[in-house]
Amino acid sequence: MQSFIKKYSIFLMLYIVFQPVLDAVTGLMAQAHINITFGILIRMAVMAVTAFYILIFLILNRDNKQGFRVICYFVILGIVSIISLIVNYKQKVLFIPSLEITTLAKSLYYPVMLLGYFYAFEELAEDRIINRYFPKVIFYAINIISIIMIVAHFTNTSFSSYAYYKLGESGWFYAANELSAIVSIAFPIMVWYALNKVDKWSRVYYWLTIVLAIYSALLIGTKGSLLAILFGICMAILTAVIHFIREKGNRKFNAGIVALLVITLGGVFAAYPAMAVSRTAELHNDMIKYKKKQAKTKKGITKDQRKYVETNKTVSYLLSGRTVYFENASHNYAKATPAQKVFGMGYATSFKSEKKAKLVEMDYIDIFFQFGILGTIVYLAPLLYCLIYLIGAFVMKFKYMWSFKWAMLVSSVALGFGMALMTGHVIEAPSVSIYFVSILGYAMLNARIFIRSGQNPETIDVED
């Protein structure tokens, strides 16, 4: 069994690299109108094996307290989930079993894989095997996405991010929002890896992969990816400036890194007017003006369109109409039974037909409506624990947090939590959550070693 633990730990690490391939195949199958997608079947199978891996790891680890806590958590989560299904089966206006069960299975992906990756990193860190894989696997995965995006762009085979505008590109990937979240969360890790490699100017070619990643992100045309790129570069610039001030013997090289980052940031601003994301901002304003004019005609506009038009312009642009979906979902929740309020209303609250089922697409809010008051507390407990622990580590070790490793890890985790609120499709989307939980698990392992030993865990850092 110990051999299984070691091999499966390595598999989980390498599994990250294959995510873009799964997503591209899924995208092509979706375009061919094949309902059962290849990607989700593979991911659910891996989740099932990972649950078995966690159980075996706990048995072999022989830490009875830790094992008891983990098993209790998943038992409670399972009970809450089953109760939610039963409640909604009996009380929901329209209950579609396949839709509800599939949604629940996707939701359970994050807690299982988060713990799986944490234990995999713990296992691989003991033999320093982790040096060979992380963050290299993230770096390679995003490079594969960039290559697919660029090939699709120049062969004119790319899918549109916004079909109704015919704007933005998602390569051969089906969901632009999920693709945007992946690139956004992983971008700081790419920057960390590239800057670690560019320890000599002869290796500056590593930075070309960052330029390609930025270009691919801007092709998508979503606001989230643009804001994440800007945030990641700005954090890297701040870190580089701190290095320049602290490391007096290496100022010439650090000044060059600062210059490289500033030029990259300038390039993003220079490219912005030509990119789809700038056009979507213009079209948003045009649409608001058109709807306001239409509202004054006899034909008028729908109730949801009126809510959208009357929302603050900046808020409606940033959240892309999510405020309207939130109002509708909260209205349904207000009319829900006490049991539904405690255990949730399942997928998309209440709807009369599958076509009218709409998520808010803000993860924390969708989770609340899906799992209810009690279910949300249970479901988000691991994320809340990680967030509090990492904030504590950041405060306690603040002066050490300005290496590129720590600054970019913090940026990536912050973007994961932030994107889950702003754009959704992070926590409950398996194709995105695997990047988030693997980075979060790695950050947690580093933070635990750092706090317990009092030394920066260099033994699990990037290896040349």
Report pLDDT digits (tens) over 271-311.
Answer: 888 887 777 666 666 565 555 556 556 565 566 655 555 55
Using DSSP's 3-state secondary structure scheme, residue 410 falls into helix
pTM value? 0.92
Query: What is the C-alpha to C-alpha distance for residues 256 and 303, in angstroms, rounded to an integer?
Result: 55
CB 375 within 8 A of CB 84: yes
Residue 159 gets which letter from DSSP? P
Query: What is the C-alpha to C-alpha distance for residues 391 and 447, in angstroms, rounded to an integer?
Result: 10
The residue assigned the tokens 């008028």 is 300
Q: Tens place of pLDDT for every residue, the chain, 464 residues?
A: 788 999 999 999 999 999 999 999 888 887 777 766 778 889 999 999 999 999 999 988 877 788 899 999 999 999 999 999 999 999 998 999 989 999 999 999 999 999 999 999 999 987 777 877 888 999 999 999 999 999 998 999 888 876 655 677 888 898 888 999 999 999 999 999 999 888 777 788 899 999 999 999 888 988 888 999 999 999 999 999 999 998 887 888 899 999 999 999 999 999 888 887 777 666 666 565 555 556 556 565 566 655 555 555 555 555 666 777 888 888 899 999 999 999 999 998 988 888 888 888 899 999 999 999 999 999 999 999 999 999 999 999 888 889 999 999 999 999 999 999 888 889 999 999 999 999 999 999 999 988 887 777 765 665 54
pLDDT at 399: 86
Report which of 59, 28, 84, 118 is spatially closest to residue 437, judged by C-alpha positions.
118
HSE at residue 462, side-chain half, CA atoms within 13 A, is 23
Write out pLDDT tens, residues 61-78: 877 788 899 999 999 999
Question: What token pair was written down for 164?
Answer: 């109704």
